[in-house]
């Protein structure tokens, strides 16, 4: 069966339903606007006083980082379409010019809100905690001496003033860098002629905050790096007078456009493209609320931007530098209470992992369960004489990785090790290139995937010779093999020795690494071959079950819901009477609650301490509940341009855990959940009278703490015995 046989274009299955045109733009929320609403929900956490102070600052910096990436990729893409006179629209019908206008209006409100939160809430509360930001004129003599010494010995040698005149064109300033524009004149100029302009890039290799010697055990006093440079700017322009100095930040188009079918060497091609990232066209400029018209005109001309692309900041520009405060001891108690993850199954010797998987499938719920079981799984295999081969996909691995060290060790031990390293994982390209080179040097078979497709599936298969047979063990996950994100992202994973799943994972690896056609699969579904078809088939089956009087229900949790074909199918199922609960953290283009279209659909978004990242799909199937985990969001890119997996959960114990203790808790959350309204806005779930507050993430954490206490008590009791 192919996608055309499903007739997804009509978005309807009965003549009665054809009376409504499900292609109408009012039934869809624009993808970019929906993402901005998600970032707004993250920003809400920064002024929620139920969150600890340091975490509120962290949420503020997360929104800035999110917006930087959005501007570098999504806004840049819309600008390219506009420049090339491309009028393509999504299901919502907004053209690039209209969309950019709406985005700019939203961003103006965003910048205003960010600095209100910073100035009215965060900075005053930091002061109460003993964290103070000082200006040069507020320093004591001892402080001024220390700052001057720091400037002369550490800053002055690395600062480079860049003149801007006919002989010195506007410099190519780094993407997201903080810069200082300086307007100067000669002392004897008597204001005749145009003032001169220069630029200094604030170095990123030194801390943004300088801790002053006036700091005490209870008070830490800081001064911003740019304030130090501004104060001593005259030393960089000897013989000139400084008239004005203004900080600014440029955001550039950073999306990589790679013609893979024309690339002889994909790794080398991506390396060349990465070097171009810093040279992309400017898409956004951030300046202070008070700035000279002369500087604005200079920057607008040099960067080829207009007024709509300029945003005004009422405080420090590029807030990312404030992350230095995360290490300040005065804020140690102003963060979330830590918790220790536990292994989902107890084992004294990691070698026992294989026998445990043979006995029962193992469920891993990150970050409450420890990622160490995944690391142990690969590490044990690296030196186990019975292990013949390891095959693994790597999307985002991070800098240091115990798993990658294990793969290298396995290769050195003579095992067949194959690693599919996705070089095109956005903004992780450089890290992945370095790991790919290292792995290749150590004898690992490194594969970069299929032309035109990103490999987003998270799978690891270990092949072991046991007695007279080959036994395969498989790990499948909704999240990356990254020990850092495994502590702050919620994800779900499965260890299994199921023969059919192992066979199908083997087929998938053969397709990725060689020349092989994927045969029909019995249990799993993959993109770009059949995952979307299976999702639509299952949704339609729920509609048919409802019409036949059989039990029907759909639950889907994911990061983003964008694909219009799937949205139409959900609308049709809703119109048939199927109750649908969607838990969509980020982008959701579906509009719930429309009479006659989506009144049976509820959309929730949970934004809290941890980043919700797991993808869980449940179909009632007439009472024979079908539960799946997946690496894929329901987006066109995941269905058509990525290698993804959808895998069934067949263990009754795991199904019961997810169906009885996880999904209901998410749906009951009334602390961090927001409900999407039919007008496209979100509102917090209200705690009804007599109800207890429910924070799903914190309840999962508390369960983990209690289980850890139980295990520790068991150890003590065992020693006593």
- Give me the active site residues, please: 456
The helix-helix angle for 96-116 and 53-70 (nearest 10°) equals 160
Q: d(Cα 470, Cα 499) in Å, to the nearest integer?
A: 11
CA distance 627 to 655: 7
What are the backbone angles phi and psi of residue 574, rounded to the nearest 5°? -60, -40
Q: Are 574 and 539 in contact (CB under 8 A)?
A: no
- Tokens in use for 406? 């294990």
Handedness of CA 364, 366, 369, 371 (dihedral sign): positive
Handedness of CA 180, 293, 305, 287 (dihedral sign): positive
- How far, in Å, CA of 721 to CA of 710, rounded? 16
Q: Which DSSP string corresponds to 107-151? A: HHHHHHHHHHIIIIIIHHHHHHTTEEE--GGG--HHHHHHHHHHI
> Can you list the alpha helix ranges (DSSP code H) found in 482-641?
499-513, 531-547, 564-575, 636-640
Other CB atoms within a 10 A radius of the CB of residue 143 amount to: 19
**CA torsion sign, 93 to 98 to 102 to 104?**
positive
Which residues pair with residue 616 across a beta bridge? 557, 629
Return the sign of the alpha-carbon dihedral for residues 516, 519, 524, 530.
positive
Tokens for 354? 């294989």
User: Tokens 């020693």, residue?
Assistant: 719
Whole-angstrom distance, CA of residue 18 vs CA of residue 36: 33
What does the block give as tokens for 350?
């990691």
596: left (phi over 0), alpha (psi -120 to 50) or beta: left
- Neighbour order of strands in the sheet with 282-288: 162-164, 196-201, 178-185, 241-252, 282-288, 310-313
Longest C-alpha distance within the chain, in Å? 94
98-101 long-range Cβ contacts below 8 angstroms, 24+ apart = 99/30, 99/32, 99/33, 100/75, 100/308, 101/308
Q: How far apart are the first and last CA of the chain?
A: 62
In sequence order, the 6+-apart residues with CB closer than 8 A to the CB of 144 are 136
* Alpha-carbon span 426 to 174, nearest angstrom: 18
Total Cβ atoms within 10 A of residue 198 = 22
CB 435, CB 404: distance < 8 Å:
yes
Nearest to 571 by CA among 559, 585, 554, 558: 554
What sign has the CA pseudo-torsion 60, 582, 527, 365? positive
Is-cis flag, bond preceding 528, omega within 30?
A: yes
Rg (C-alpha) for the chain, rounded Å, is: 28
Give me the residue label for tokens 């550490």: 154
Give 390's strand partners.
Answer: 417, 462
Give the number of other Cβ atoms within 10 Å of residue 714's Cβ: 11
Distance CA 289, CA 187 (A): 28
């Amino acid at each position: 069966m192919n996608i055309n046989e499903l007739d997804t274009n009509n978005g309807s299955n009965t003549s009665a339903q054809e009376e409504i045109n499900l292609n109408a733009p009012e039934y869809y929320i624009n993808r970019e606007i929906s993402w901005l609403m998600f970032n707004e929900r993250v920003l809400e956490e920064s002024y929620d006083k139920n969150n600890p102070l340091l975490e509120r600052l962290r949420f503020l910096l997360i929104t800035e980082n999110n917006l930087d990436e959005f501007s570098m990729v999504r806004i840049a893409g819309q600008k390219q379409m506009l420049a090339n006179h491309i009028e393509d629209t999504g299901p919502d019908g907004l053209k690039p010019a209209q969309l950019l206008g709406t985005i700019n209006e939203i961003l103006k409100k965003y910048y205003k809100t960010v600095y209100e939160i910073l100035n009215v809430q965060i900075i005053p509360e930091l002061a109460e905690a003993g964290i103070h930001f000082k200006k040069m004129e507020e320093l004591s003599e001892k402080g001024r001496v220390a700052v001057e010494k720091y400037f002369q010995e550490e800053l002055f040698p690395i600062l480079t003033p860049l003149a801007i005149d006919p002989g010195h064109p506007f410099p190519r300033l780094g993407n997201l860098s903080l810069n200082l524009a300086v307007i100067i004149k000669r002392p004897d100029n008597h204001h005749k002629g145009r003032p001169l302009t220069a630029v200094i890039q604030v170095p990123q290799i030194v801390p943004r905050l300088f801790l002053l010697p006036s700091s005490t055990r209870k008070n830490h006093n800081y001064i911003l790096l740019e304030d130090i440079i501004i104060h001593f700017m005259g030393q960089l322009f000897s013989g000139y007078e400084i008239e004005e100095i203004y900080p600014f930040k440029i955001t550039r188009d950073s999306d990589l456009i790679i013609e893979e079918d024309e690339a002889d060497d994909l790794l080398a091609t991506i390396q060349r493209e990465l070097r171009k990232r810093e040279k992309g066209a400017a898409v956004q400029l951030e300046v202070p609320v008070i700035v000279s018209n002369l500087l604005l005109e200079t920057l607008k001309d040099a960067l080829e931007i207009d007024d709509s692309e300029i945003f005004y900041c009422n405080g420090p520009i590029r807030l990312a530098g404030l992350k230095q405060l995360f290490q300040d001891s005065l804020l140690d108690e102003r963060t979330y209470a830590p918790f220790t993850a536990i292994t989902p199954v107890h084992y004294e010797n990691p070698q026992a992992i294989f026998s445990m998987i043979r006995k029962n499938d193992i469920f891993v719920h990150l970050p409450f369960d420890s990622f160490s079981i995944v690391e142990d799984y690969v590490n044990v295999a690296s030196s186990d004489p019975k292990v013949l081969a390891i095959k693994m996909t790597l999307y985002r691995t991070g800098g240091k990785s115990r798993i990658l060290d294990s793969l290298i060790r396995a290769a050195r031990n003579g095992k067949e090790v194959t690693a599919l390293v996705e070089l095109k994982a956005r903004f992780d390209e450089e890290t992945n290139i370095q790991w790919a080179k290292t792995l290749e040097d150590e004898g690992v078979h490194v594969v970069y995937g299929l032309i035109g497709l990103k490999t987003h599936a998270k799978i690891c298969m270990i092949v072991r010779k046991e007695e007279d047979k080959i036994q395969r063990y498989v790990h499948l996950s909704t999240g990356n093999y990254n020990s850092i994100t495994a502590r702050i992202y919620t994800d779900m994973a499965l260890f299994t020795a199921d023969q059919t799943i192992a066979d199908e994972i083997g087929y998938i690896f053969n397709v990725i690494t060689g020349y092989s056609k994927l045969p029909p699969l019995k249990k799993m579904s993959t993109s770009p071959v059949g995952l979307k078809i299976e999702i639509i088939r299952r949704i339609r089956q729920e509609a048919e079950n409802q019409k036949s009087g059989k039990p029907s229900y759909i639950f889907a949790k994911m990061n983003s819901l964008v694909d219009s074909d799937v949205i139409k199918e959900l609308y049709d199922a809703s119109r048939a009477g199927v109750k649908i609960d969607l838990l969509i953290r980020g982008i959701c283009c579906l509009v719930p609650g429309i009479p006659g279209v989506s009144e049976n659909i509820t959309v929730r978004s949970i934004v809290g301490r941890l980043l919700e990242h797991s993808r869980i799909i449940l179909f009632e199937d007439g009472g024979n509940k079908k539960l799946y985990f997946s690496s894929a969001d329901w987006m066109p890119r995941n269905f058509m341009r990525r290698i993804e997996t959808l895998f069934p959960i067949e263990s009754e114990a795991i199904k019961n855990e997810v169906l009885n203790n996880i999904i209901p808790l998410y749906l009951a959350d009334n602390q961090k959940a927001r409900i999407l309204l039919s007008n496209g806005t979100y509102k917090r779930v209200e705690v009804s009278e007599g109800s207890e507050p429910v924070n799903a993430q914190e309840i999962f954490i508390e369960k983990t703490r209690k289980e850890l206490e139980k295990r520790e008590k068991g150890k003590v009791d065992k020693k006593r015995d």
